[in-house]
Amino acid sequence: MTSPHRFKTGFCSPALHRSRQVIALLLVASLGLIGPSGAQLSGNSAAAPNAYGNASALPALGDGSGMTTAAERRLGDRIAMSIYRDPDNLDDPILSDYLQSLWQPLRAAARSRGELSPELDERFAWDIFLIRDRSVNAFALPGGYFGIHLGLIGSVSTSDELAAVMAHELSHVTQRHISRLMTQQSRQAPWLLAAMILGALAAGKNANLGSAAIVGGQAVALQGQLNFSRDMEREADRIGYGVMTGAGFDSAGITGMFDKLQQGARLNDSGAFPYLRSHPLTPERLAEAQSRLQLEAKPAGAQATSAAALANTAYAPMLHAMMAARARVLSAPGPDALRALVAEGQRRLQAASAPGMVVSPAASQAAGAIYGAVLAAVRLRDFGRARELLEPLGRLAAGDARTRTAVELLAIDTDLQAGRVPLTAANFDIGNAGTRAEVLVQARSLLAADRAQPVAERLQAWVAANPRDAGAWQLLAEAYGKQKQDVRAIRAEAESRVAQLEYSGALDRMRAAQTLLRNNPRSADHMESSIIDTRTRQIEALLKEQLLQEKLDR
């Protein structure tokens, strides 16, 4: 729930600090201090084509912003490019699927309530970055990009609390808060902007020094900025509440999240809650939230009927506990912390065997702890211990398709990490795999079993429907490579880079494919050759547009 103008450098690894000029641009843009060039802020700016050739040029009207939706998307793409390349950006299909199970009902509710306009829905990215960071934080970026720290997923107690955060962030974007802030703050004096840039850069190395510089630079205009941002936070609270309850999530998630933040505030936020610095719990916000919950409380016995509510079975708390444990392990704790997680899972295993616990809160907590213990044991390369814990975990999770699938995918990954071909690989029908996690994990399993052809066939269909899935394109490249289809493998690598907005690298790979075709004319696939020529021209146009925007921003 972090406003875009306060996007913190703290989550970024050193990979994002290689170019001071690029850092300054990204930080200033994401902090909401200045917009891009005057051409981008103009209401007459034309839309840039996206990576697959679509474009439109309808300006947004009546939202108080001087920035078009096309310009905001371009700016978001610029920031996203650096995040894609950051090693702390994590593509974990299992956690991503879980977030999408919350995210899609929220977007649908925003559409049905009229909060998400058709133009924004079509033009913006609506992508979520998973950030490998143990701090409790989330943020929205221009153009419909969002980030969620693993520490946030690992700390919330329920899916409703996580949905409350996501609904708030979604509302920041649907209400054009990002571009409105940038429009307002672009009018600040040059000396103030310079002070803010220097403060933001300093914060990357010394948070206290950076904060002092930023506060000093803001002194003249501080009150106006605070008033404006507080209004937007209250608006995001109000609209986010309607979106999350409209999607069928329990409003108790809001109170649970506020309780956790208040606890963090009482601990004086030692750095684990950057969320609090960028999203302060003012008395007004707390009072309004309490009033809203009391006024809009559901009558006794009332039931939500949305897709999210129907999916919220008795096993939903167990699934969340497992995903929270996964986030805690993937946030890269040290060996001692991993051993402690394994010990906690073993301790919980004894309690989980008690009768009548299958769908109880205690069973959910036990399943989460055991799931985390398996993953921690894998990280410690203790595969024997991991397999011992998988069997009882499977019994606990057997009553629900989603929890059962989560354990099955964990078992497959355990075998793959141990260098074994999963026993189930021989029987996989990847054509029936539905979710992204199922498709990609099963694809990795089948590739380990040298069954590249069904992987290529399934992934071809998947990327046709999901062309921005870089991970799927990369696996498809591996499947083609195993079948000695080198040209197709190179094109898939290029498409993976396009999906991450790395047009220069994508163009290099496309040209390499063209060279390979010229050198082997007899074996050339004319259909593939035509596709490569067309995509090469499209990527050249995208790269030209990208370089032009960079030139305008200098």
pLDDT at 298: 54
In the numeric block, which tokens belong to residue 191? 């000396």
Q: Which residues contact 490 (CB under 8 A, 6 or more apart)?
A: 477, 509, 510, 512, 513, 516
The residues pairing with 140 across neighbouring beta strands, listed in sequence order, are 146
- Whether residues 269 and 363 share a domain: the answer is no
For range 435-448, the mean pLDDT: 94
Judge residue 401's burial from the number of C-beta atoms within 10 Å of its C-beta, 0-12 exposed, 13-18 middle, 19 or more buried: exposed
- Whether residues 72 and 186 share a domain: the answer is yes
pLDDT at 288: 79
**Per-residue pLDDT at 387 exceeds 80:** yes
Q: Which residues contact 451 (CB under 8 A, 6 or more apart)?
A: 425, 428
- The least confident of 52-56, 372-376, 543-547 is 52-56
For range 208-237, the mean pLDDT: 56
Residue 535 lies in a domain: no
- pLDDT per residue over 12-21, tens digit each? 443 333 333 3
pLDDT at 332: 82
- Whether residues 137 and 233 share a domain: the answer is yes
* Domain end call among 266, 295, 324: 295
- pLDDT per residue over 161-187, tens digit each? 999 999 999 999 999 988 887 776 665
pLDDT at 75: 83
- Whether residues 177 and 86 share a domain: the answer is yes
- For the chain, the domain total comes to 2
pLDDT at 22: 34
Residue 222 lies in a domain: yes
- pLDDT per residue over 100-159, tens digit each? 999 999 999 999 999 999 999 999 999 999 999 998 889 888 899 999 999 999 999 999
- Whether residues 237 and 355 share a domain: the answer is no
pLDDT at 117: 95
For range 408-413, the mean pLDDT: 95
As a whole number, the mean pLDDT across the chain is: 78
Write the DSSP symbol of residue 377: H
Contact 119, 69 (CB under 8 A): yes
Using only C-alpha atoms, the chain has a radius of gyration, in whole angstroms, of 24
* Domain end call among 420, 454, 472: 420
For range 84-104, the mean pLDDT: 95
- pLDDT per residue over 212-224, tens digit each? 444 444 443 444 4
Residue 137 lies in a domain: yes
**Per-residue pLDDT at 28 exceeds 80:** no
**Per-residue pLDDT at 440 exceeds 70:** yes
- Whether residues 240 and 318 share a domain: the answer is no
- Sheet architecture: strand order including 145-149: 89-90, 127-131, 145-149, 138-141
The model's confidence at residue 521, banded by pLDDT at 50, 70 and 90, is confident
Backbone angles phi, psi at 469, to 5 degrees: -90, 95
Among all chains, which residue has been given the structure tokens 């049905």?
112
For range 254-277, the mean pLDDT: 73
- Kindly state the percentage of the chain with pLDDT values over 90: 51
- Whether residues 159 and 95 share a domain: the answer is yes
Residue 487 lies in a domain: no
pLDDT at 271: 65
Residue 32 lies in a domain: yes
Domain that holds residue 236: 4-51+59-295
- pLDDT per residue over 354-376, tens digit each? 554 556 788 899 999 999 999 99
pTM (2 d.p.): 0.81
**Per-residue pLDDT at 3 exceeds 60:** no
Select from 205, 135, 95 the least CA-distant residue to 441: 95
Among all chains, which residue has been given the structure tokens 């010229």?
518
pLDDT at 375: 98
Contact 373, 346 (CB under 8 A): yes
21 vs 231: which has the higher pLDDT: 231
pLDDT at 424: 78
Residue 44 lies in a domain: yes
The model's confidence at residue 353, banded by pLDDT at 50, 70 and 90, is low
The strand ranges marked E within 124-185 are 127-131, 138-141, 145-149
* Domain end call among 400, 420, 440: 420
Backbone angles phi, psi at 422, to 5 degrees: -55, 140
Residue 324 lies in a domain: yes
Buried/exposed 251-270: b ≥16 CB within 10 Å, e otherwise? bebbbbbbebbeebeeeebe
- Whether residues 106 and 234 share a domain: the answer is yes
Q: Is 47 helix (H, G, I), strand (E, B) or coil?
A: coil
39 vs 321: which has the higher pLDDT: 321
